[in-house]
C-alpha cells in the first residue's frame, strides 16, 4: 500500500518526485481520480480548492477523472476508483469524508483497491486513516465543531490503519493559530501519537514503512 498524506497537495518538487517514484511511471501515462467530497462540506471561499485542482491538473495526466462519493451507485464509484492509478482525495471536512465512505459501504473495497494504487491525501483526505478518528480525538484536537456542524455526535473511522493521528497545516498562513504553542496544547491533552505537518510536508507510507517527505517543518509526538 502506497500513501502520500499531504496537508495542501503536491506543492513542491520533493512531493511530486515522491509520487512519481511511488507510481513507477510518468504522470502522462497514468490515470488519476480526484475526489472533492470533503470540500463540499466546508463553507466559505473555495479558492484553495480551485488552486489545488489547477495545480494537479497541470501535471499532465493521461486521464483526469473527478468523482463524488455520494449519490452515485456504489459499483459505479468502485469501478471508477479501480480505473485509476492514483486516487487523490481533497481536503475539507474529514468527518464528512469519513461518513461518506462508511455510510456508502465503500470502506472495505476502497481499502482493497489501495493495495495496487497510489493514494494522495490532502488535509482531510490524509486524516481519515487513523483509528483515532472519533469523538474523543475531536475533543482533544479541537475539531468537535466540524463534527457537530454535520448534525452528528459520533463518527467511525473508515479504515483504522494507524495508531497515530495526522494534523495538517502547522504554521500555515491559512491557519495562523496553528503555531507551536497550539501543537503543544494538543500534545498535553493527547493520549495517542500525532504527526503535525506543514503545507510543504507529507507523511509517506510504503508497505507499512512510514517516513517524511518535506521541504518544510513537521513534528511527531509519540
What domains lie within the chain, and their CATH numbers? 2-221 (3.40.50.880)
Segment 122-180, tens digit of pLDDT: 999 999 999 999 999 999 999 999 988 899 888 999 999 999 999 999 999 999 999 99
Where would I find the beta strands (DSSP E) of 61-131?
A: 63-66, 86-89, 118-122
Cell numbers for 198, please give them. Answer: 506543514
94 contacts 133 by C-beta, under 8 angstroms = yes
The arithmetic mean of pLDDT across residues 21-25, rounded, is 97
Q: How many CA atoms lie within 13 A of 54 on its CB side?
A: 6
Cell numbers for 138, please give them. Answer: 475531536
The arithmetic mean of pLDDT across residues 66-87, rounded, is 98
Question: Which three-class secondary structure state does DSSP give residue 68?
Answer: coil
pLDDT bin (cut points 50, 70, 90) of residue 199 is very high
Cβ neighbours, 10 Å, residue 28: 9
Question: Which three-class secondary structure state does DSSP give residue 121?
Answer: strand
**pTM of the predicted model as reported, rounded to 2 decimal places:** 0.97
pLDDT at 154: 87
Give dist(CA 182, CA 178) in Å, integer: 5
174 contacts 123 by C-beta, under 8 angstroms = no
Segment 132-145, tens digit of pLDDT: 999 999 999 999 99
- CA quadruple 52, 202, 99, 77: dihedral positive or negative? positive
Rounded to 5 degrees, φ, ψ at 39 are -70, -30
Give dist(CA 10, CA 202) in Å, integer: 9
pLDDT, mean over the chain: 97
Cβ neighbours, 10 Å, residue 160: 16
Amino acid at each position: 500500500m502506497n500513501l502520500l498524506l499531504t496537508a495542501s497537495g503536491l506543492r513542491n518538487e520533493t512531493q511530486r518526485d515522491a509520487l512519481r517514484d511511488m507510481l513507477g511511471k510518468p504522470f502522462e501515462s497514468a490515470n488519476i481520480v480526484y475526489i472533492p467530497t470533503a470540500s463540499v462540506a466546508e463553507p466559505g471561499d473555495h479558492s484553495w480548492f480551485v488552486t489545488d485542482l489547477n495545480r494537479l491538473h497541470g501535471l499532465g495526466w493521461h486521464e483526469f477523472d473527478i468523482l463524488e462519493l455520494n449519490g452515485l451507485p456504489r459499483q459505479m464509484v468502485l469501478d471508477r476508483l479501480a480505473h485509476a492509478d492514483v486516487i487523490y482525495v481533497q481536503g475539507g471536512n474529514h468527518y464528512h469524508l469519513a461518513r461518506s465512505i462508511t455510510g456508502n459501504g465503500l470502506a472495505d473495497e476502497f481499502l482493497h483497491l489501495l493495495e495496487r494504487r497510489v493514494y494522495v491525501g490532502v488535509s482531510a483526505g490524509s486524516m481519515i486513516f487513523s483509528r483515532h478518528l472519533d469523538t474523543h480525538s475531536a475533543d482533544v484536537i479541537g475539531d468537535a465543531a466540524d463534527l457537530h456542524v454535520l448534525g452528528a455526535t459520533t463518527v467511525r473511522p473508515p479504515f483504522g490503519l494507524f495508531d497515530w493521528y495526522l494534523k495538517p497545516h502547522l504554521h500555515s498562513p491559512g491557519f495562523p493559530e496553528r503555531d507551536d504553542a497550539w501543537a503543544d496544547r494538543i500534545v498535553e491533552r493527547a493520549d495517542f501519537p500525532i504527526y503535525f505537518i506543514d503545507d510543504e510536508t507529507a507523511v509517506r507510507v510504503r508497505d507499512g514503512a512510514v517516513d517524511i517527505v518535506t521541504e518544510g517543518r513537521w513534528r511527531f509526538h509519540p
